[in-house]
Amino acid sequence: MKDVRNNAAHAVHCSDPTLSSIESAPPPEAEVVDMVNIVDKLRRDAEALSAGRHQIVVETDGQGDLRGSEPELVSAFGNLVANAVRYTPQGGTVRIIWRASAQGAEFAVQDTGIGIDPKHIPRLTERFYRIDRGRSRDAGGTGLGLAIVKHSLSRHQAQLEIKSTPGVGSRFAARFPASRVVGL
């Protein structure tokens, strides 16, 4: 029981200040974020985390960049990619998708993982919410990752859409308004 309390205290100490700082921070800087480079970095990170256990696929039209905070976006997107790798069984596929147009942009991660029961989807972005506490702990989760993703995306006027089917896989998509897309 002492280990559980220590782990919980450590998770709160390390992660909650990150979420609190994002929630209270001013709007993100309007720097141009090179999405081709970001997607390539995320692919490399996914391949390293996967260690050859998954097929990592990139789908992109190679167009458009985002206006915003690169560190925040990389953190949010990286969390989605890492979750897909962690919760996809060996031999599965993780797709990293980037598409941009004059109407807006979408960054998505789609996997052939274990999927999520629909009853859990509305709560996934709540602080400390875990579907299965044992599985999340074994995978290294704190229960804050998707809360941080949601807040980072909302600071960029983006919406997080989650679709999942148990035993089939999940798709997490960040949809950005046209005002955040540059370079088309």
Q: Where are the domains of the chain?
A: 2-182
The pLDDT tens digits for 4-60 are 333 333 343 444 445 455 555 666 668 999 999 999 999 999 999 999 999 999 999
Indicate if the pLDDT at residue 155 is higher than 70: yes
Buried-state track 21-35, b at ≥16 Cβ within 10 A, e below 16: ebeeeeebeeeebeb
Residue 92: predicted pLDDT: 98
Residue 178: predicted pLDDT: 96
Residue 10: predicted pLDDT: 39
Q: Which residue has the higher pLDDT, 136 or 107?
A: 107
Indicate the range of 70-79, 134-143, 162-171 predicted with least confidence.
134-143
Q: Which residue has the higher pLDDT, 24 or 150?
A: 150
Split at pLDDT 50, 70, 90, the class of 137 is very low
Whole-Å CA distances, 74 to 15, 23, 34, 53, 115:
16, 17, 11, 23, 24
In DSSP notation, 107-169 reads EEEEE-S----GGGGGGTTSTT--SSHHHHHHTT--S-HHHHHHHHHHHTT-EEEEEEETTTE
Query: Looking at this protein, which amino acid is placed at residue 121?
Result: I
User: Which CATH number fits the domain 2-182, given the four candidates 3.40.50.10320, 3.30.565.10, 1.10.3720.10, 3.30.1180.20?
Assistant: 3.30.565.10
Tokens, residue 168: 């089939």
The pLDDT tens digits for 69-105 are 999 999 999 999 999 999 999 999 999 999 999 999 9
